[in-house]
Amino acid sequence: MVSVKPLPVATPLLDDESISSWLLRVSLNQGCDLSTILFYHWSKYNLRHHDFDKGFNHINKQIHQDMAVLAQTDTKFFDNRSLIQFNEDIGLEYRPNISLTWVLPIPKFHSKTMVGHQYCAQCMQEDKSAYLRLKWRFSWIVYCEQHLISLQSSCSSYGLPYQPHLIKANHRFINRCPHCREKLSAEAVNQLLCTDAYEFQLKAEQVLSANQAIVFGHSITSGDWFELTLFFINLIRKSTLEKELIYKNLVETLGICGIDGLRLSKTRTGLKFDYLSYEERVMLIAYTNQMLKIKFDDWLLACKKNNLTQNSFRLGKRPIIPKAFYLSTMSFLQL
């Protein structure tokens, strides 16, 4: 049963727009703060403390139905914008107290932590047409495919994080920094596009869209591919640690080094990939892209040269070798 009525000023959900972006534009178009819209329509759910881009089906499916009425569209369009749905599409089970994999964190409502939302400065130039793409929440997305420039997450005027949930009604548009109220603009230092990082980004989107990929001559699902690439990312991170010399030797044997002048180095923290800085994520997906290009026979030769077995690749606290890697190598690398 629908519990809302269309708003005075209609705000359609755009093709690739995130739910949080749409909610914010709805509130600004009505001349009120985001908290007002949330309280007026869904006060009993206390949605302010929720990551809107996760979607709301795990809270109550009625919320998506309500939003569809407000946006004058079909409920399925909100269902398809859910980050929880994305994780399920690649075979990951949603757990309420565990952060989503391959998704960048954002601060909670009214939080002023130094976490900013990714955006393309050129995409956000036009006031009335500015909105946030859902893909900008993915941790493998580092460039704008339309403008071929680096995404950024802070205001270039004051250097403070771009936190759209703090935007107020008097800011009028979503492309304003909530701290200084200036329009978002490109950073003064123009970062060069890393070819390998951009290739990885395009490849990931293609795999997600097709729900399949070819690895070592075998067709695998998108879920297996994302599991494999995260395994490669962790393997590359291991190779930068002084105590993990076997992985450093493996990476060197595979000939992965000096990508676009991007030096492979240890990350500043041991946090999961999604919580790393922009520069560190660019570095890791660039080197992972190179690793994905390694032919099966070259992998075997490198492993044998460094006396590596299947057990050598049991990484992390819960060591599980990705199915795509295990099935391809298990008959050659004895345990």
Split at pLDDT 50, 70, 90, the class of 185 is: confident
Q: What is the pLDDT of residues 319-334, one digit of tens each?
A: 555 666 655 555 455 5
Tokens of 332: 């050659």
Split at pLDDT 50, 70, 90, the class of 188 is: low
Split at pLDDT 50, 70, 90, the class of 335 is: very low
Q: What is the mean pLDDT of residues 263-272?
A: 93
Give the pLDDT confidence score for residue 110 in this predicted structure: 55
Q: What is the pLDDT of residues 286-306, one digit of tens each?
A: 999 999 999 888 888 888 888
- Specify the higher pLDDT residue, 39 or 159: 39
Split at pLDDT 50, 70, 90, the class of 285 is: very high
Q: What is the DSSP string of 247-264?
A: HHHHHHHTT---BTTB--
Split at pLDDT 50, 70, 90, the class of 57 is: very high
Q: Which residue stretches of 136-244 are H helix?
A: 195-210, 222-239
Q: Looking at this protein, which amino acid is placed at residue 203?
A: K
Q: Which among 138, 117, 120, 137 has a CA at the least distance from the CA of 129?
A: 120
pTM of the complete model beyond 0.85: yes
Distance CA 120, CA 156 (A): 12
Q: What is the mean pLDDT of residues 6-16?
A: 90
Contact by Cβ (8 Å): 310, 335: yes
- Residue 289: count other Cβ atoms within 10 Å of its Cβ: 24
The three-class DSSP label of residue 56 is coil
Give the pLDDT confidence score for residue 26 in this predicted structure: 95
Helix, strand, coil % over all residues of the chain, rounded to 5: 45, 5, 50
What average pLDDT does the chain have? Answer: 87
Q: What is the mean pLDDT of residues 256-263?
A: 80
Percent of the chain with pLDDT over 90: 56
Q: Looking at this protein, which amino acid is placed at residue 318?
A: R
Split at pLDDT 50, 70, 90, the class of 156 is: confident
3-state secondary structure 192-214: CCCHHHHHHHHHHHHHHHHCEEE
Q: What is the DSSP letter of 191?
A: P
Percent of the chain with pLDDT over 70: 90
Q: What is the pLDDT of residues 92-151, one digit of tens each?
A: 888 888 899 999 998 766 555 678 999 999 999 999 899 999 999 999 999 999 999 999
Q: Which among 215, 206, 213, 250 has a CA at the least distance from the CA of 324?
A: 215
Distance CA 94, CA 76 (A): 19
Tokens of 165: 């949930």
Split at pLDDT 50, 70, 90, the class of 6 is: confident
Q: Answer left, alpha or beta for residue 130, where phi above 0 means left and psi between -120 and 50 means alpha.
A: beta
Q: What is the mean pLDDT of residues 205-230?
A: 91
Domain boundaries, given as residue ranges, for the chain: 19-171, 195-329
